[in-house]
Amino acid sequence: MNDERIGEWMQTYSGVRWYPQDPRPGDVKIEDIAHALSNIGRFGGHAIRFYSVAEHAVRVSRIVEDLKGSPHEVFWGLNHDDSEAYLGDIVWPLKQAPELRGYKRLEAITMGAICIALGMDAYEPPIVKHADLVMLATEKRDLMHDKTTHREAAASKDQTADWHCDRYEPHPEKIVPWSPYDAERAFLDRYAVCAEKRLGKRW
């Protein structure tokens, strides 16, 4: 079997050699994902306090659960941004630039490898996208200074001051951001609970 890999590799937290251009399900480690996401800030670091992608993911999964999502949908909610553990969090306006088509391809194949590794359906459930936007509206309310002109999530090519989450009601719970350490532990704990409910056994 030819095991020649494509491109250069980086070392993950656990010591795995990860090839961003050639992601493999066997290289996916939930410990790497939790650690990396807990140290990556949402909004390119422009929130009023450090707020991690890991915390965002935990909160999204809770909203999916509140909306009576299935165990698989709740699990998907927790893991919907896992590719960012290996590729970083690119701010939304930059992702729309034609120059980043290559990044979008890498994002897709990375998430594909993660879905195989974690036993997830390949496509994000609609309830997860809904919960993600509810959380975005909540983050806008609690974590951003300029709520009227910031265009991190403005819709399509309209040069407006709107965020595409503005028609969503924020979650009533106010966000008080966790430390990276607490976010990592919360992500792993939530993962264990969600995996057990989804599979009927401990991960």
Residue 121 lies in a domain: yes
pLDDT at position 95 is 83
Closest by CA position to 63, among listed 147, 142, 139, 166: 139
C-alpha span between 120 and 112 (Å, rounded): 9
For residue range 102-156, list pLDDT tens digits in order.
Answer: 899 999 999 999 999 999 999 999 999 999 999 999 999 999 986 554 444 444 3
pLDDT at position 160 is 52
pLDDT at position 147 is 53
How many residues comprise the chain?
203
Instruction: Please answer whether residues 52 and 186 qualify as being in contact, where contact means their C-beta atoms are separated by less than 8 angstroms.
Output: no
Residue 148 lies in a domain: no
Residue 53 lies in a domain: yes
Tokens read off for 82: 């896992």
Query: In total, how many domains does the chain have?
Result: 1
pLDDT at position 130 is 97
Instruction: Please answer whether residues 171 and 134 qualify as being in contact, where contact means their C-beta atoms are separated by less than 8 angstroms.
Output: yes
pLDDT at position 2 is 57
Instruction: Give pLDDT < 50 ranges for the chain.
Output: 1, 149-159, 201-203
Residue 92 lies in a domain: yes
Residues of the domain holding 62: 10-125+179-199
Residue 47 lies in a domain: yes
pLDDT at position 37 is 98
pLDDT at position 161 is 60
Residue 157 lies in a domain: no
pLDDT at position 27 is 98
**CATH number, domain containing residue 93:** 1.10.3210.10
pLDDT at position 167 is 81
Residue 76 lies in a domain: yes
Residue 36 lies in a domain: yes
